[in-house]
Amino acid sequence: MTILHQVDDDRVQELLGRLQRRGDDLRPPLESIGRYMVDTSIPLTFRSGGRPEPWKPVLRGGKPLLNSRRLQGSITHRVVRGNELRVGTARRGARLHQLGGTIRPRNARAIAVPLPGTKAAPRRYSRTFILYRKDGDRIGLIVQKVGRDKLRPLFVLKTQVHIDARPFLVWLSEDVQRAEQVLVRYLGASR
């Protein structure tokens, strides 16, 4: 037994042409995907302290990348040339947080690493001085005199500091599935 199936060539050609035209300008679905990432997925990553793996804690206390929320607020999206979605930030230091790395001082001999409870830069504190190590090296501790015989440690001075990677621009499987759904809906819609 033979089963014949006839294809309406005009209809197939019309559908393929529509798919081609819609595929030439993916701006609408990419805008939708970008908004979802910036407004929903990435904020969830910040709120949960890292996804899929939690971020390592910071020594100074508090939640990593959330003290000022400036990094999270700086993340944007844009569609380039109608077919490329870019999600990211131009914020200085963002790459270091995303990928991790080591920082070294540029114009100083050491980096002042805040101890828990320290809120401002060293120059914002009065009555401070450096406690040196016995070898005379300027690496040590910045302390504040708070009473007649009392010192409060504020910062540790280090020649370099390693920053753990805390990826905040991540595409999880549910993000990819959502993007696929948006694209399929867009490409399948009639014009």
Number of domains in the chain: 2
DSSP per-residue letters across 58-114: PTT-S-TT-SS-HHHHT-EEEEETTTEEEEE---TTHHHHHH-EEE--SSSS-EEEE
Rounded to a whole number of angstroms, the CA Rg of the chain reads 27
Is the domain of 35 the same as that of 98?
Answer: yes
Any domain includes 6 = no
Residue type, 102: T
Q: Are 168 and 110 in contact (CB under 8 A)?
A: no
Is the domain of 86 the same as that of 170?
Answer: yes
Looking at residue 124, what DSSP letter applies?
A: G
Full-model pTM: 0.74
pLDDT (0 to 100) of residue 78 = 95
Residue with structure tokens 């910071």?
58
Is the domain of 127 the same as that of 42?
Answer: no
What is the phi/psi pair of residue 42, to 5°? -65, -40
pLDDT (0 to 100) of residue 2 = 47
pLDDT in tens, the chain (191 residues): 444 444 456 765 666 667 677 777 889 999 999 999 999 999 999 999 999 999 998 876 677 888 778 999 999 999 998 788 999 999 999 999 999 999 999 998 888 888 888 888 888 999 998 887 777 665 689 999 998 889 999 999 988 999 999 999 999 999 999 999 998 888 876 54
What is the domain extent for residue 29? 15-104+163-191
Instruction: Say if residue 18 is exposed, middle or buried (CB neighbours under 10 Å; 0-12, 13-18, 19+).
Output: middle
